[in-house]
Chain A
Amino acid sequence: AQSVTQLDSHVSVSEGTPVLLRCNYSSSYSPSLFWYVQHPNKGLQLLLKYTSAATLVKGINGFEAEFKKSETSFHLTKPSAHMSDAAEYFCVVSFSSGSARQLTFGSGTQLTVLP
């Protein structure tokens, strides 16, 4: 079985300060991991993905995430928050197997960016 835990339901940062959104996963198989962002009344957009090629993954809009197998973590970071980063962020785990249910979503982290 696989699961994803997003440790913070809400994160609030000031503009220009670093962002850290935490995600821990469990998976019986070698996982693929994704971060999606959802702006208000918008669809889900892929930020970045880990597919075992490199543990540090760079995504769009200056976001990056590091896969740490020993800690079963895939935390999302950004050095300097921008007002436009305010949104909900979802950590997602997928694995390669015959099981039909491939994508497991975390419960989401709402990021607020203060001026």
Chain B
Amino acid sequence: GAGVSQSPSNKVTEKGKDVELRCDPISGHTALYWYRQSLGQGLEFLIYFQGNSAPDKSGLPSDRFSAERTGGSVSTLTIQRTQQEDSAVYLCASSPRSFGVWTEAFFGQGTRLTVV
């Protein structure tokens, strides 16, 4: 597709269950970001992938959160043993390059996660 695609768009899960959120970046974009946006809050950085470099995981809030990016393209964010405080919109973005000054990120529509 032409833009960043995220699936599912909405996910309701029971507390304690695991969830997987998927992101398909724009083809050719080497950088991929995950952010979390809680109700009424700004964007919280979670994790960043750049090409084949080791990801920057410094924003992951706990070890229940993990992410991978296969083949430098699709990324999956996994939340294990979900808690109610995990409820938020999870946004994925991709960028054509990371170390250039003119980098802008293109965002997907987000996955709205509700933990009940």
Contact = CB atoms under 8 A, between A and B. Distances in A.
Contacts of A36: 107
A77 interface: no
Contact of A90 (B33, B43, B55): B43
A98 B95 CA distance: 15
Nearest to A6: B42
Contacts of B58: 101
Interface in B87-109: 91, 93, 95, 98-109
Chain A's interface size range is: 20 to 34
Interface residues of B, number: 31
B62 interface: no
Contacts of B99: 96-98
B50 A94 contact: no
Interface string B50-66: 10010110110000000
A105 B55 CA distance: 19
B101 A30 contact: yes
Interface stretch (A44-52, A63-71, A78-86): A44-52
A90 B45 CA distance: 14
Contact of A100 (B53, B100, B103, B106): B53
B110 interface: yes
The 8 closest A-B CB pairs, nearest first, are A100-B56, A44-B107, A107-B42, A105-B43, A43-B109, A96-B101, A51-B102, A43-B107
